[in-house]
Structure 1
Amino acid sequence: MSTPRFLHLPPGVTPRKIETDRGMFAALEALPATGVVERWPAILLPGLTGSKEDFIAVLQTLALSGRRVLAVDLRGQYETPGLDDPAAYTCAALGADVDALAQRFGDGEPVHLVGHSFGGLVAREAAIDGRTKFASFTLMGSGPAGITGKRAGHARWLTRTIPLSGLEHVWHAGFEPEALAAGVPDDILAFLRQRLLSNSPTGLARMADEVVSMRDRTEELRQIEVPTLVLYGEHDDGWPAETQQEMAAALGADCVVVPGAAHSPAVEAPETTAAALVRFWNEAESHTLDTRAT
């Protein structure tokens, strides 16, 4: 379990509620310290049991590159309201939410899209569905199909346990013991509990099922021809490193391995992760502008 490095918002980062034609989404928005926005904006999507707070440590650095950056809670996650219908939490439905966010937040400009873990599967749906032309697409600690290994077992446990016992039981039986064993400080422990219990039970159970059952859509994504980055920690315990490397090669994507990081590079190695994203975004923008000029 990874936790945000700190919960106090850095300068230039403010909570927001983004209204779209698909509902309201809770977000953290980062702006350049100078207030001058010179580059295209970016949207960051968290993983299955995460939230917008997982990106706190990178938001200020990303914004300093001259762009607005938005980290969001997906539908039913933490501070974004959910629905009782399980169909609202398929990757396709959540991808449509991302399209609505991109069109609202981008305000006519191309938007860089980053998805972490399960958020990568959601972001992929938005990239493929054709509703939005993204400036670039980044899979962060995410893979071509359903997650495998220990994390897959945990997701299946969530799918079974939530409908029977509820989120309070999930916290006490799974999340709390793991956090205590990792020595998580009391203030962050309280945040993690509040975050988990604020999730939509219907949403979390359905998303847990989605993260293990998603089919491989690499070939479809390759045909989109959007600049793509595959970024993951060298000790990632989600999708195997070789799986992510093979996916990057199949996509013709840039591939960055973050030294010392595991499954959450934005938490575990924020400066390295932010630098890699900014470099990739700048190159993608330059390539797009050069292409338009020819």
Structure 2
Amino acid sequence: MSGQLTPHGAERVELPGSEGPIAALRTRETGKATVLLVPGYTGSKEDFSPMLDEIAADGFRAIAIDLPGQFESPGPEDERSYLPEALGQVLAGLVGHLVAGGKPVLLLGHSYGGLVARAAVLAGAEIAGLTLMDSGPSALPDGPRRVALSVGEPLLREKGIAAAYRMRERMYEQFPSWVRLPVELKEFLRRRFVSSAPAGLLGMADGLRFEPDLVASLAEALGSVPSLVVAGEGDDAWSVASQQDMAERLDAPFAIVPNAAHSPNTENPKALLDILLPAWRSWL
């Protein structure tokens, strides 16, 4: 099975969080460092399933999480609690808990998770390296993804989360890549979406539409901490050019994942790992 249902050896655990327990997939203890993997909007820890065993085999402990309000992590009712700044505080607290275990933490944020990871650094998270993957310098630019957020908001508020997912599914049906997905994976994606907190979906959507450009502040906060920006060659959320510019402003290496769009972690995990693992090893 491909994508989020890829078999792996990680265990399902719950980690401490200021807004409640944080659901996670965690590989075995290893000697180098912990890699903390943060998913994007409507995502979950399972988005990293194709990568977990390979990360562990390279000597890192991988921990993939559901952010508060996502899938199996409970979250508050206040939509503002899901903006990057607020979630960044939660993530910084989790990083502190992991660092207290004695191993350095490398942080990777995908898409909206990249905005949250950035906010965690700005909140003082003590990381040993930062990877931003298919994430941008600020809010989503004009395009289909931003339009979908604006169209989906009133439907979610008025008709509920199941109706919002039906609209989302109808939109996906025009894409051959969606049509080809196995039935079991489509069912998982549906279950994950409707299990998420409506306030979380609404708050994160606001973050995606209105987050300011904080790249200069991030560069200052990182100081000598190494960073990396990675993008799928066909990313349709933030443009590849905007991500390359962000890397230059961070004085960070920039890498493109071939044969991938917005989610290299499920679309081409091998090529992605060929970029990530050498970089992470060099940081330590």
Q: Corresponding residue for 1:289?
A: none
Q: Larger deviation: 191-200 or 157-166?
A: 157-166
CA distance, structure 2, for counterparts of residue 161 and residue 284 of structure 1: 45
Residue 46 (structure 1) aligned to one of 39, 46, 49: 39
Asked if the contact 1:156–1:209 (Cα under 8 Å) also holds between the matched residues in 2, the reply is no
CA distance, structure 2, for counterparts of residue 9 and residue 100 of structure 1: 29
2:193 is aligned with what amino acid?
A: L
Q: Corresponding residue for 1:125?
A: 119
Gap runs ≥5 in structure 2: none
Q: Secondary structure at the match of 1:48?
A: coil
* Pairwise CA distance, 1:174: 1.6
Q: Corresponding residue for 2:236?
A: 237
Aligned-residue CA RMSD in angstroms? 1.7
CA distance, structure 2, for counterparts of residue 8 and residue 141 of structure 1: 21
1:194 is aligned with what amino acid?
A: R
Asked if the contact 2:37–2:65 (Cα under 8 Å) also holds between the matched residues in 1, the reply is yes
Asked if the contact 2:19–2:75 (Cα under 8 Å) also holds between the matched residues in 1, the reply is no
Q: Secondary structure at the match of 1:20?
A: coil
If the length of structure 1 is used for normalisation, what is the TM-score?
0.90
CA distance, structure 1, for counterparts of residue 47 and residue 4 of structure 2: 9
Q: Corresponding residue for 2:127?
A: 134
Q: Secondary structure at the match of 1:58?
A: helix
CA distance, structure 2, for counterparts of residue 78 and residue 220 of structure 1: 31
Q: Corresponding residue for 1:28?
A: 25
Q: Corresponding residue for 1:175?
A: 169
Q: Percent identity?
A: 36
* Pairwise CA distance, 1:161: 2.4
* Pairwise CA distance, 1:61: 0.6
Q: Secondary structure at the match of 1:235?
A: coil
Residue 195 (structure 2) aligned to one of 193, 198, 216: 198
CA distance, structure 1, for counterparts of residue 4 and residue 39 of structure 2: 16
Residue 78 (structure 2) aligned to one of 82, 85, 88: 85
Residue 147 (structure 2) aligned to one of 153, 173, 179: 153
* Pairwise CA distance, 1:17: 0.9
Aligned length: 277
2:191 is aligned with what amino acid?
A: Q
Q: Secondary structure at the match of 1:69?
A: strand
CA distance, structure 2, for counterparts of residue 177 and residue 154 of structure 1: 9
CA distance, structure 2, for counterparts of residue 252 and residue 160 of structure 1: 40
Q: Larger deviation: 14-23 or 191-200?
A: 14-23
* Pairwise CA distance, 1:14: 1.2
* Pairwise CA distance, 1:280: 1.2
Residue 185 (structure 1) aligned to one of 163, 182, 203: 182
2:211 is aligned with what amino acid?
A: M
